[in-house]
Amino acid sequence: MTAVDPRLLGRRVTVKVPATTANLGPGFDTLGLALSVYDELEVSVREAPGASVAVHGVGEGEVPTDESNLVVRSIAHTFAAHGLAMPGLDLVAHNVIPHGRGMGSSGAAIVSGVMAAKGLLEGIVDMTADDLLARATELEGHPDNVAPALFGGLTIAWVTPEGPQHKRLTVHRGVSLLVAVPETSTMSTALARSLQPESVPHQDAIFNVSRSALLIAALIQSPELLLAATEDKLHQTYRASAMPETNALITVLREHGLAAVVSGAGPSVLVLCSDPAQRLQAAELIEQHATTPWVSHMLAVDFKGATVNTHPVEAAV
């Protein structure tokens, strides 16, 4: 590891990263959408080593504010991947994405750190899109959330011996989104994964392959197929017992012809609508049938993905 590069001193960047929803029903660990909800981050290089984090909004008073913070660890990981020492940092995080609700909060934190490192190292290290995805996936463990957070839109992500790959697609303009978020209950991704079997029946695998292919067509070309395209037999049924109200709401919504699925690992519910009237219907059904407080968010697909802006180094007075 080299010493801290003196060119970093005084550098400052701001980062904006969208929330995401992964799986989308049948596309387990493969498909993801970027959402129009954003965490923002300011990072400044300081002379003193270490890192301090000020958190505003979601996670304030709960998440670590030192070098163990996930964003800081992501910055350090990205610097280390390029053989560089992380400088001393001051971070200010403005968080909006709910934690533990299946909207990609950990993926957003990781992407925030990777993008901050990219901005801080501008002119020192050139990072490609593949580099960014590789660093984020190394930390997240799978690319289905970090890919849409990085690149926006609908992403298909897969892993090869050379590293994670992605394809970004543009969602049909007729598709609108609703994400219903429970105010109190959360779900650990690790717990959700532990509820799944190590193997599934052959017919269930074939079922999901067909629905995943259909879902791509529905999202980019034929929104009227969304209900059939969001059927799943790989993960939602196995996790249902841990999220009974989520499962009950999805059942009601689908009985009314709405393409409702678990958002990520849950417990939030994603409804993929083929017209705005369906979103209103979904919100009404959730309000009628939920037994605990839920908030329905009418969202758009984010098409930009994560952004980083660098700021001129202030000259010493």
Q: What is the pLDDT of residue 42?
A: 98
- Residue 83 belongs to some domain of the structure: yes
Q: What pLDDT score was predicted for residue 317?
A: 36
Task: Tell me the CATH number at 64.
Answer: 3.30.230.10
| 192 and 148 in a common domain | no
255: its two tokens: 């009985």
317 occurs within a structural domain: no
Co-location of 19 and 155 in the same domain: yes
- Residue 208 pLDDT: 86
The rounded average pLDDT for each run of 10 residues, N- to C-terminus, in the chain (317 residues) is 85 98 94 98 96 97 96 98 96 96 96 98 96 97 96 97 96 96 76 67 88 97 97 80 92 98 95 95 97 96 97 62
Q: 147 is in which domain, residue-wise?
A: 6-169+302-309
Residue 314 lies in a domain: no
pLDDT of residue 199: 77
Structural domain contains residue 260: yes
C-beta separation of 266 from 252 below 8 A: no
Q: What is the pLDDT of residue 192?
A: 56
Residues 117 and 201 in one domain: no
What b/e sequence results for 92-122 when a residue is b if at least 16 CB atoms lie within 10 Å of its CB, and e otherwise? Answer: ebbbebbebbbbbbbbbbbbbbbbbbbbbbe
Q: What are the pLDDT digits (tens) for 31-90? A: 999 999 999 999 999 999 999 999 999 999 999 999 999 999 999 999 999 999 999 999
Q: What is the pLDDT of residue 316?
A: 43
Instruction: Compute φ and ψ for 81, nearest 5 degrees.
Output: -60, -25
CATH number at residue 275: 3.30.70.890
Residue 48 burial by Cβ neighbours in a 10 Å radius (0-12, 13-18, 19+): exposed
| Known binding-site residue numbers | 98-108
- DSSP tally for the chain: helices H, then strands E: 10, 11
Number of domains comprising the chain: 2
Residues annotated as binding site for ATP? 98-108
316 within a domain of the structure (yes/no): no
Contacts of 191 (CB under 8 A, 6+ apart): 242
Say what the pLDDT of residue 136 is.
98
Cα–Cα distances (Å) from 62 to 57, 65, 71, 132, 264, in that order, read 11, 9, 14, 28, 22
Residue 301 DSSP label? B
Is position 257 within any domain? yes
pLDDT of residue 115: 98
